[in-house]
Every structure is written in C-alpha cells, then in structure tokens.
Amino acid sequence: MRLKNKVALLTGAAAAIKGELMGFGGATAHLFVREGAKVVLTDILDEMGERAAVTLREQGAEAIYLHLDVTSKTDWVHAIDATLDAFGRLDILFNNAGISYPVKVEDLTEEMWDSELAVHAKGAYLGTKTAIPAMRQGGGGTIINTSSVMGIVGSPTSPAYSAAKGAIRTFTKTTALQYAKENIRVNSIHPGYATTPLTQERFSSPEVNKMLLDRTPMGRLGTAEDIANGVLFLASDESSWMTGAELVIDGGMTAQ
C-alpha cells in the first residue's frame, strides 16, 4: 500500500478500462488504486471516463471522473475544488494529457502549434498552479509531468510535440526549485515509443513500427504499464529525495 490514503488527480486518464488498450493515465490509475490511493480521473472523453470510473469502483476502488480541458483555467479550478469536496485533500497530480501532430515544420499550421503547446505546456502549468495551494494545505505533495524522450532529443517527425515536451522538462525543474522547501516535489517522466490509444494507429504501420524498433535497443515498444510503474515510483515516498529529476523510460533509446 505505497499510496495508502493518498488522493491523486490524473489528466488524460479516460482510457482506464481493463481489457481495452490503456493510456499512461489509465494504467497509472490502476496501479494507484492497487496501492491504496483514491483517484480522480479527468479527460475530455467523458463517456469513456465515466465508464472507467465505474469499473474502478466495481473493483472496490474510490474513484470519480471529472471533465477537464487542461487548457481551461476554469476547468482546473472546478476539478481541484471537486477533488477537495470529494476526498478532502490532494496529494498527487499527474499532468499527462496529450495530443500529437506528426508533420514536417513546413506542413505544421499555427493552429497545430498552438494546440500542442496549449495541451502540453499550458496544461501542465495550469494544473501545477492550481494544485499547489491544495497540496500546501495538506502539508505537501508530488507532481509528475509527462514529458517525453522528445523533450530531451529532437523528434524526426513531430516538431510541436518536441517543443512542448521540452518546455515541460524545464518548467518541471523550475517549479521543483521554487517549492522544494514546501515539501512539494515535481518530477518529469520521459517515455520512449510506447503503444497507447494516442499512438496505436500510427505505430501499427509496418514501416513506422520497424523504424521505432530500430531506434530502441531493447527491441520492443513500451507499454502503458511500463510508464505507469515509473509514475508510481515518483508518486510514492520511495522517491522522497527526488525533485526536478527526469525519469527516462525508453528501452535505451536516448542512450545512443
């Protein structure tokens, strides 16, 4: 029970239904409740998110679903308030919502650029800003931001995604420095090529699949569970002396 009595809010977490392909948020939610946490699933995919919360409750978990557009300050305020109303505290925030437009720079529209930076970088900023006062009330907390290996090295396919994930990487470090003395830890995870609902269609292309495997020394794509195990570690007291750190989970890709 590594998260016993902790309350966690997860974004991009609607895909959390056993037997279906889960995203990082969904797989993490299952690990969190297994370890004793109460979870707040959030997303814009409301029907899926509601089903996911029901299935978790049927398994004995304390779980609710909330609609949350991470680019909306109003939605964030509502989500934090609803979390406190339901569970009385907030200990863990997993900023995980994401989108991706794999195109060349010349084909990247301003709308695509703005959308990626808003969902990833602005979403992490708004979530962090809104959650910190609630965490402070409870004596501290931990924030985990989903960056990417493409926030460390360049992406051959997705320029806005890489820019947004790089922003999350350094925003994480700055926030960690500002709040370390308040017992609020902030770390980033950096997944490599993993199969999720966001990537499944593109990664199933034989040509793309071969390219990804050729770039991954361990010779397989990651799973949502691979990433969720790292998030659980960063959410737990086992990482109590880690803040501003980058946890890379990529099958060796960035070691090259």
pLDDT of residue 202: 85
Q: Where are the domains of the chain?
A: 7-247
The model's pLDDT over 185-232, given as tens digits with 9 standing for 90+, comes to 999 999 999 999 888 888 888 999 999 999 999 999 999 999 999 999
Q: What is the average pLDDT score of the chain?
A: 97
pLDDT of residue 197: 86
Distance CA 9, CA 99 (A): 19
SS3 of 60-72: the string is CCCEEEEECCCCC
Name the CATH superfamily for 7-247.
Answer: NAD(P)-binding Rossmann-like Domain (3.40.50.720)
Tokens 């770390």 belong to 187
**C-alpha 219 chain-centroid distance:** 24
Catalytic residues: 161
The model's pLDDT over 26-40, given as tens digits with 9 standing for 90+, comes to 999 999 999 999 999
pLDDT of residue 148: 97
Residue from 218, 172, 173, 171 nearest 193 by CA: 218
* Confidence band of 166 (pLDDT split at 50, 70, 90): very high
pLDDT of residue 256: 93
* Confidence band of 78 (pLDDT split at 50, 70, 90): very high
pTM (global) more than 0.85: yes
Average pLDDT over residues 175-185: 98
